[in-house]
Amino acid sequence: MKKQRIIAVLGFAKSGTSALSCILQSGGAVFPSQGINGAGRSGYQKMESTSTNEIIHELMGSSVANNWDSPPGAPEHKSIPGERLTSIFGNANIGAFKVPKLLECIDPFVDLFPFVEYVGIFRNPNKSIRHLEKKGYCAIGSAAPWILWRHYAKKMLWVYDVKGPFPLFEFDASLDPAAVCATLDLSPPAKCNYDLNIPDHSEEACDEPLYHALRQVAGEYRAH
């Protein structure tokens, strides 16, 4: 019997995690069936579920952030059996999920679920944080979302070092569905209902060192 694969999508809010999830689904990955966020861009159902969120919130305990103005919390190291995660996907050959707060409790998660594969996505933080401000998720000009973005970036790089190289895509540069599916050894993508032709894909200057570190790692992975 073929071993089940489970892929976790890593990334900061408004950085392309929904688009990447849609591409994975179009390549045959099965996401939890119980959506909690309703329809997103172009009527696309965001790939989040109460089942996977419950695991993450358990690891976060009382420190889970309620909004993007909140500082990163301190995860709790609890004992959660691997079957609790695998059972969410039933008999699917390839399961996948995204939980926005996963990078806040990634340390215990990596230890608890060593079989999970990772794929990450990032974009210029100026764009992500500007989008959060526009949507009212955080105060305009607040330093807090930058603190959280840097925390997420450091954790994504940490997973890359600890778990070994995994695919990293830049939302504004390299999110080609066929290439993503081929990189992850998925089936050629069927129709993706998420509109990838958003207007804000233009190059924009950014002097954040962690953004350039992510770009460098993504380039190294493509080249290896």
Look up the domain containing 97 and give its range: 5-223
Express each pLDDT in 105-149 by its tens digit.
899 999 999 999 999 999 999 999 998 888 887 788 888 889 989
Go through 59-78 and write b for each residue having 16 or more CB atoms within 10 A of its CB, e for each that does not. Answer: bbeeebbeebbbebbebeee
Higher-scoring residue by pLDDT: 6, 78 = 6
Nearest to 32 by CA among 98, 84, 80: 98
pLDDT band at 175 (very low <50, low <70, confident <90, very high): confident
Contact 197, 45 (CB under 8 A): no
Given a cut of 80, whether residue 162 has pLDDT beyond it is yes
Three-state secondary structure call for residue 53: helix
58: CATH: 3.40.50
Given a cut of 80, whether residue 67 has pLDDT beyond it is no
Given a cut of 60, whether residue 8 has pLDDT beyond it is yes
pTM over 0.75: yes
The pair of three-digit structure tokens given for residue 41, joined into one six-digit string: 């861009």
- Burial category of 145 from C-beta neighbours within 10 Å (exposed 0-12, middle 13-18, buried 19 and up): buried
Look at residue 33 in the predicted model and tell me its pLDDT. 62
94-98 and 5-10 as β-strands: parallel, antiparallel, unpaired?
A: parallel
Q: Highest mean pLDDT range out of 5-9, 33-37, 98-102, 132-136?
A: 5-9
| Count of the separate structural domains present in the chain | 1
